[in-house]
Structures are given as C-alpha cells and as structure tokens.
C-alpha cells in the first residue's frame, strides 16, 4: 500500500487525515494515478493523505492488489489463449508464495480485441483457465480471480475445458470455443477439473452481481457491448440456458441464479461449478488492501471512478468504500468524471469533473481536475462535520 506519510510544511500533528480510495477512471486514469492526483489536492488543503486505490474485480484489480502487498508481490508473464483464440502474453500475480491473483481481462478481456474484432458468439475464456492451471501447477493454494472486462459470453466453458472439464457434443467430441458452440452441448463432466483444483481455493471477485440468465444476465445485459446483435443476444441466452440445464445435473445443483454467476459472460457460473466462491469484488479488494483499518482513523474519505449512476450501488467500488466510511461515521465524498445520480444515501457529497470547469476537457485534464476537486472537498468538510448529501 502506498501511504503518504509526510505532513504539509508547517502543519501540526493535528492535521486531518484523508483517505484517497478511488477506483480507476476507465479509459482515463488507473486507480493508482487517480489516488495520487487526489492526494496532491488533499495536501494542497493542508491535510495528510493516504493513497489506497481500490478495484471491484474488473480491469486494474491485479495492479491494485499487487501495489497494496508491496515488495513481496511479484508478476510473471505467460503465453495463453486470447479471447479470439490466438496467443497473448498475460500477467499472473503472486501476493505470497502460494497466493495468486488472476485478472480475467489479461487473457480474455475486451482490451485484447480491437472494435473490428469483437465476436461475442465465439470469444473464449480458455486463456483464463490456462492461467489458473499454471498457478495451481506452481503451488498456489489460494487464487483470487477478478472477472471484469471480459470479451466472452461462453458461460466459462473455455476456462472449464482448459482445467480438464469435458464439454462434449452428441458424438462425444469437445465442443468448440465461444457461447455459440454451447448449442452443441450434450454432456458435461467437471470431475477432472475439480480434482486438479482439490488443493486450492478460488475466490472470484465479481464486478457485477447478476445471474447467468435473464434480463440482468450475461447475454441480455452485457453481450451487446461485446459486439452481439439482438439476434446474437437471444442465441447466446438460449445457449447459456442449455449449459445451465446440463450443469444442474451435477452435485452443485443449479448455480445459475447465484449472485455473480453472470459475471464475465458467465465465467462466474463456470467457476462456481468447480466450488469457487463468488464474492463482491469491491468488498474482497477492500478487505485485501486493509481499507477498514485506515478509514477508522480518518477525518474524510474520498473515492470515485469515471461515472456515478444508478448502477453504482450494485457492487461498484465507490459504494463499498462509502459503506465502510459510514460504518465509522466518517464523511465520504465521491468524485467522478460524470455524475448522473448524486446518490445521497451513499455519499456525503458528489462532485463531477465535467462541471468543475466547463471550459476544460475533463478526460484530457483529469489529473489536474481531480487535484482541484479533492482540495475543495477537504476544505469544505474538515472541521465542519458531516454535511447534507448534495452535488457540488
């Protein structure tokens, strides 16, 4: 964890302590860069900053957890299958000798594809399964898998196959890659994959809590952003329902409705079939970085990400940070690029970078605007207690 210990010049030991705990501003700043910009603004306001970037299981989770663990953490790189089937070099993180972190987006993410290469019907999660196998073979006893940012909608079929599961058609042959090939599924056997993982626990950091199927599921809610047409969406929904039907005959029973089963195009579902625990990614990351211990002594907590809207309370990192601040009676300000809903039940106040200086491009100048916003938030809140929730 990166902590800013130095107090502002001439400041006394009574200066307010402010925790800077943002998620990434997607497409603009990493969580670490956002926390650093906020911390500069905190110091401008005469307070003491602690930088504690967070994540929710999506892009950036690996970097946040490695930074929090410090010098004992390490990264190894491995060639595995990408979402389109070709090889990619993906990072595998190690927090301890036997504790690994895998970010699904490293091997199976949208960021591995150009917009012209999106293929929701055939993109595969196989590379993520290969990373899990590599970690287990290297001695991992616990693996944290962040499952946001996926390119696939295959119900985790590819990662299951990489781990030794058999998903076969009516002729007994392995089905092909991608959600569309689940239409050919006639049988599923995950016994070999479970045996391979028998000495290892897997915690799945889910960035959404939706089920596998339905209006909030993997296909209907998220496949369009992966290149699926309306016809593709319905085809994928039927294919995932077919997978769920065969999987329900396993001793795990029907796990398709478990919160997080729809994460990463259904990879949450696939991992649940192997006994993995599906967890709120934001809660898991906040626990691993030690947020509670830091918040307990703070005067103010600042969080944020690119956008605050009605989905923010549904497992997003700023909502988790705010809930923990509230637990200790600490005011929490959320700063975002765009604020579509001030969410007064969550945050003491919210601030939108795009309205802070209307003449400035909020994405191009995000660091400078975050610094100004943090300074303003600290100046308004320190020494004045909790104020009514409202957008600035």
Low-confidence ranges of the chain (pLDDT < 70): 1-14, 116, 383-392
Maximum distance among all Cα pairs of the chain, rounded to whole angstroms: 77
- CA angle (282 as vertex; 118, 38 as ends), nearest 5: 95
301: nearest Cα among 39, 13, 25: 39
pLDDT recorded at residue 14: 65
- 351 close to 357: Cβ distance less than 8 angstroms: no
Q: Are both 182 and 272 inside the same structural domain?
A: yes
Identify whether 9 is part of a domain: no
Identify whether 139 is part of a domain: yes
- Residue that finishes a domain, picked among 236, 257, 282: 282
Q: Are both 296 and 217 inside the same structural domain?
A: no
How many domains is the chain built from?
A: 2
Q: Are both 258 and 167 inside the same structural domain?
A: yes
pTM of this prediction?
A: 0.89
Q: Are both 318 and 229 inside the same structural domain?
A: no
CATH number at residue 203: 3.90.1510.10
Counted residue by residue, the chain has a size of: 392
Q: Are both 228 and 173 inside the same structural domain?
A: yes
DSSP string of 149-169? SB---STTHHHHHHTT-EEE-
- Residue that finishes a domain, picked among 250, 282, 314: 282
Helix (H) or strand (E) holding 390: strand 390-391
Neighbours of 138 (CB within 10 A): 13
Q: Are both 253 and 306 inside the same structural domain?
A: no
- 312 close to 319: Cβ distance less than 8 angstroms: yes
d(CA 282, CA 157): 25
pLDDT recorded at residue 344: 85
pLDDT recorded at residue 117: 86
Q: Are both 308 and 171 inside the same structural domain?
A: no
Q: Are both 159 and 235 inside the same structural domain?
A: yes
Q: Give per-residue burial for 3-20: e unless 16+ CB within 10 Å, then b.
A: ebeebeeeeeeebbbbbb
Q: Are both 71 and 163 inside the same structural domain?
A: yes
pLDDT recorded at residue 379: 92
Mean pLDDT of the chain: 91
Q: Are both 217 and 304 inside the same structural domain?
A: no
Q: Are both 222 and 262 inside the same structural domain?
A: yes
Domain boundaries, position 23: 17-52+291-391
pLDDT recorded at residue 314: 83
Using only the alpha carbons of the chain, give its radius of gyration: 22
């Amino acid at each position: 964890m990166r902590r800013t210990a130095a107090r502002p010049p001439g400041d006394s030991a009574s200066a307010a302590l402010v925790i800077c705990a943002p998620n990434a501003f997607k497409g603009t700043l990493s969580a670490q860069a956002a926390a650093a910009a906020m911390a500069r603004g905190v110091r401008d306001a005469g307070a003491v900053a602690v930088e504690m970037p967070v994540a929710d299981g999506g892009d950036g989770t690996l970097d946040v957890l490695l930074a929090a663990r410090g010098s004992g953490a390490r990264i190894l790189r491995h060639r595995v299958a990408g979402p389109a089937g070709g090889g990619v070099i993906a990072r595998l993180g190690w927090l301890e000798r036997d504790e690994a972190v895998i970010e699904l987006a490293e091997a199976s993410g949208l960021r591995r594809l150009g917009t012209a290469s999106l293929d929701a019907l055939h993109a595969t999660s196989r590379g993520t399964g290969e990373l899990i196998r590599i970690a287990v073979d290297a001695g991992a006893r616990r693996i944290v898998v962040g499952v946001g940012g996926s390119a696939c909608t295959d119900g985790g079929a590819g990662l299951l196959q990489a781990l030794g599961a058999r998903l076969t058609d009516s002729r007994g042959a392995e089905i092909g890659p991608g959600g569309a090939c689940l239409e050919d599924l006639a049988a599923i056997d995950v016994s070999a994959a479970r045996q391979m993982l028998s000495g290892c626990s897997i915690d799945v950091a889910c960035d959404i809590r939706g089920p596998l199927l339905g209006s909030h599921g993997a296909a209907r809610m998220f496949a369009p952003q992966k290149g699926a047409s309306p016809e593709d969406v319905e085809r994928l929904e039927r294919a995932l329902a077919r997978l769920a039907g065969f999987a329900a005959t396993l001793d795990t029973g029907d796990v398709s409705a478990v919160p997080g089963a729809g994460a990463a195009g259904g990879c949450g579902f696939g991992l649940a079939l192997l006994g993995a625990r599906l967890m709120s990614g934001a809660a898991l990351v906040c626990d691993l970085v030690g947020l509670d211990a830091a918040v307990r002594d703070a005067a103010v907590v600042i969080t944020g990400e690119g956008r605050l809207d009605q989905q923010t309370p549904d497992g997003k990192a700023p909502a988790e940070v705010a809930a923990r601040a509230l637990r200790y009676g600490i005011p929490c300000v959320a700063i975002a690029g765009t604020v579509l809903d001030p969410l007064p039940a969550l945050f003491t106040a919210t601030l939108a970078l795009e309205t802070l200086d209307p003449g400035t491009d909020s994405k191009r100048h995000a660091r400078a605007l975050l610094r100004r916003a943090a300074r303003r938030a600290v100046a308004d809140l320190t020494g004045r207690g909790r104020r009514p929730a409202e957008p600035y």
